[in-house]
Structure 1
């Protein structure tokens, strides 16, 4: 286990253009970010929850996310184009955690697919009986399997701000019906394919968040960012799944649960930043990410 990479390294030939919650985006030196047809995406070991960057990082997390994303991009290539150009032609300092990618004009929408009811989707359902504008049957509970997967978009907030769940109709009003209908179709195609692959490996894919952009070279709608990782998805154990209770998981929910437990001593509603993650929580989070990687890819980390 290596020391976590937290800060963005200086890379010869590349300018740091954007520093996100987890990833650093570089462009070729001297290239304006909006004109870059090629970018370098580096996954650090930072972890965030509830719009806060947490300390310390999770060792190897960036490598795990990068490896899992590559696995899924390969298995989804016949469903939707993806942004990866190379995982090997990258600076040595970030090998294993960097992807050389097509430059995309990102669509300002979080594209969420849900097959099970939990998290903010459950909260919306309990308030209104709907999620993302979809009417759902009465009587659903924590972790209920939905009659069919649904597309539930959210606004893409700036760092430090909250993403906001919106309805499909609101998304159409903001971005146009044709684009949102295309995003909905691709999101659900990706989810159904991944749901099947995960099930073959004993994993329930409860939900996932995707991001898309238009290629700056040919305008094609392209799958970008990361895909189907423990940061962007909920992975549950198929052999212990039971609705009506919070599921043991192989994803970031473990960290969220600790933050909101009495053990952390943190009041989420206060202005006080979260406490530092204890060594045990860091270790157990890493173990969950490694297990998710190994189960889903069939490869030892």
Structure 2
């Protein structure tokens, strides 16, 4: 994995952590129970952060997350404006979320409404996904109804997440929390899939992350939710058209364009090549189209905190 760039300083805020996509800050003064989560414009593939960043990506993803948080009847990590906190600088406000500080569970709550990606690869080998037996003869992209819950263990930074069984998640967080994570994730996914379908979009799979509020003990939906980076979406009409090649039917509203270009132009040795302008433009277009299809008139350029 490439070394992450140092994020810009924000007046009144102290940077504490960066992932491949997000930068986390805490207030220099004031309550220590809040985080400022800033979605960068970085884009990664094959464990490398690529150049150049995609200007506008962070704002679109943040707006889509916030829109979904409004649709989901589950406690989430967002908090309203807190007067004693520093102001959020205007240049990052459209891609920033002010959140509660949580004790995060070490589980990625993956829900699959279609058999594809790594799940399909595992199915081809074992006939199951994360210990869940599936019918024989399924094809890439086939719907799973009801959806299945296939958790993953969130590995330390720099290591790969590990698909696990539900029983292993019980060992990690206890039976009560594991059941709550599974049941809540499946409920959110089922409701979101129906809403997406009404907008002409298939929600194929996603991952949720939850934490515990140390002050209340409440389980809280956190991180991003149902974005192009955390979910796989397909166009409903294209998906239903069986005259199209499978790759076209399953073309997703995400950074697959970037992965495809890298696969054709890089041997995965050394530093990845710089992304050309047309690939940057097409990728942002995919993110923006999904936002428009789902959220309609919501404005991704408006501040979100």
SS of residue in 2 equivalent to 1:241: helix
Q: Which residue is equivalent to 1:21?
A: 20
Task: Give the superposition deviation at 1:187.
Answer: 0.6
RMSD over aligned Cα atoms: 2.0
Task: Give the superposition deviation at 1:279.
Answer: 1.5
SS of residue in 2 equivalent to 1:185: helix
SS of residue in 1 equivalent to 2:16: strand
User: For 1:110, which of 89, 108, 112 is the aligned residue?
Assistant: 108
Task: Give the superposition deviation at 1:129.
Answer: 0.7
Structure 1 segment 29-68 matched on structure 2, within 5 A: 29=28, 36-68=32-64
Assess if the C-alpha contact under 8 Å between 1:51 and 1:161 holds in 2.
no
Structure 1 unmatched runs, 5+: 1-5
Assess if the C-alpha contact under 8 Å between 1:115 and 1:149 holds in 2.
yes
SS of residue in 1 equivalent to 2:49: strand
Counterpart CA distance in 1 for 2:223 and 2:231 is 13
User: For 2:256, which of 232, 238, 253 is the aligned residue?
Assistant: 253
SS of residue in 1 equivalent to 2:119: helix
Label 1:24 to 1:138 Cα distance change in 2 as closer, same or farther (>3 A).
same
Counterpart CA distance in 1 for 2:151 and 2:228 is 19
User: Looking at both structures, which has the greater relative contact order when contacts are Cα pairs under 8 Å and sequence separation is at least 6?
Assistant: 2
TM-score w.r.t. length of structure 2? 0.88
Q: Which residue is equivalent to 1:121?
A: 119
Q: 2:10 matched to 1:11?
A: yes
Structure 2 unmatched runs, 5+: 301-305
Worse overlay, 144-153 or 90-99: 90-99
User: For 2:76, which of 77, 82, 85 is the aligned residue?
Assistant: 82
Q: Which residue is equivalent to 2:137?
A: 139
Counterpart CA distance in 2 for 1:50 and 1:168 is 27
Q: Which residue is equivalent to 2:303?
A: none
TM-score w.r.t. length of structure 1? 0.89
Q: In the TM superposition, what whole-angstrom CA distance separates every residue of 1:184-224 from its partner, at most 9, and x where no partner exists?
A: 00111110111011001000000001110011321210000
Q: In the TM superposition, what whole-angstrom CA distance separates every residue of 1:130-183 from its partner, at most 9, and x where no partner exists?
A: 112111000111101113201111111233321111111121122222211110
Counterpart CA distance in 1 for 2:219 and 2:207 is 16
Structure 1 segment 218-229 matched on structure 2, within 5 A: 218-229=216-227
Task: Give the superposition deviation at 1:87.
Answer: 7.4
Label 1:277 to 1:140 Cα distance change in 2 as closer, same or farther (>3 A).
same
Counterpart CA distance in 2 for 1:135 and 1:202 is 30
Assess if the C-alpha contact under 8 Å between 1:87 and 1:98 holds in 2.
no
Counterpart CA distance in 2 for 1:254 and 1:36 is 40
Q: Which residue is equivalent to 1:3?
A: none
Aligned length: 286
Counterpart CA distance in 2 for 1:285 and 1:8 is 23
Q: 2:239 matched to 1:241?
A: yes
Task: Give the superposition deviation at 1:82.
Answer: 0.3
Worse overlay, 6-15 or 177-186: 6-15
